Copies of this chain bind each other. A is one copy, B any other.
């Protein structure tokens, strides 16, 4: 993990937020390559969940919703962590973390120590429930403002739009509504980089099905989502689906399976797939007075669909791709760091490198190639430093292909195509470079064996 954090910082994927002001705990900003990687993860999710299908539509609801929504959903009453305070040192802890035998012990007045076996000598209060929703106030219009919340999940914005979307969908369940957007949780985080942060992006699908079919659709989505992670290069041996035990289930869920990944800190949730039953639509029907159900305009058949929800944290997905792609190896007696990212996730698809940057003819060819590729691909042009160094820089950010313009290019219009993983260098026609890359980009891909 430390190596991934260090690379992410060094190459501008992720910065601690508000750093020049001492930072704000568990908040991160995304630099250039981080934005490009994040955008690619979003695009691949949207492709698989919306663009490649006929049965799912997209939605983008507000972060600040009507406060009654969070009463109906159960979040005002139940979206809480049990917290204990120390009467002496005033530090606050999650009670369920302290109860966990694997959790590090605490000493009064200190942050949890890394050394096991230390005895906690805090004078702890009884646990109190602390709501995880950020509260703010919409208040300019009326004398008395209204307390509202920053959404802690995007799902409720989907449920309350069910009727709007169902009327337009002209389709009987099963059908789904997918959403990508920010959510906020005011929680004590264990500090595993971007694994859990105060604000984060979620990619959620609510898939509405006939009640009798919910178990089979739950199974379908567990398999489908597992396949998506593998499709984009996560190694199968680092993934597993784990059904929740009965005592782990949320109040709304009749079945939940976590897709877990083997993180440096152990197996942890990457994506959750819940069978939420009719809990949400029923709650909002009761609270709003608007019937949220499916009605067949022809036959008059009506029912409240059940909901299967695959819910993935974008930042956590990004972290997972980074960890799984991270590799080090010795090449020609020098160590290189390489991100073996799927080519369709890599922030830069192709680097264009003029070998001799003072050669005007080479630069001209390189500019022309860059401009052509750029209309279709994410391209970086790099003319600074020795060629070996430029390759290493691209390896570190996971660029699958580098195209080098050299003296031979000037005589026969071919370029060197260097492969990030195999390090193979082949000469291809300059004019065919775009088609060649597009073809390789469209081909199925699986990660090479790790060197390090």
Contact = CB atoms under 8 A, between A and B. Distances in A.
Interface of A: 11-12, 15, 17-25, 27-32, 34-36, 38-39, 46, 51-52, 54, 57-66, 68-69, 81, 83, 85, 90-92, 130, 132, 134-143, 148, 150, 157, 160-161, 163-165, 168, 170, 182, 184, 186-188, 198-199, 284, 287-290, 292, 374-375, 378-379, 381, 384, 442
Nearest to A167: B12
Nearest to A347: B58
Given A160-B21, A290-B20, A442-B375, A59 B143 contact: no
Contacts of A132: 140
B65 A12 contact: no
A51 to B, nearest CB: 6
Contacts of A58: 31-32, 35-36
* Total identical chains: 2
Given A15-B164, A32-B165, A51-B379, 8 more contacts: A18-B62, A18-B160, A20-B290, A24-B148, A25-B138, A31-B164, A32-B57, A92-B141
B29 A186 contact: no
17 contacts: A12-B164, A15-B161, A17-B62, A18-B66, A19-B161, A19-B164, A22-B66, A29-B59, A32-B59, A38-B60, A92-B141, A134-B136, A135-B137, A136-B136, A137-B186, A140-B188, A150-B150
Given A12-B164, A182-B63, A199-B62, A21 B68 contact: yes
A80 to B, nearest CB: 10
Given A19-B164, A36-B58, A381-B54, A143 B92 contact: yes
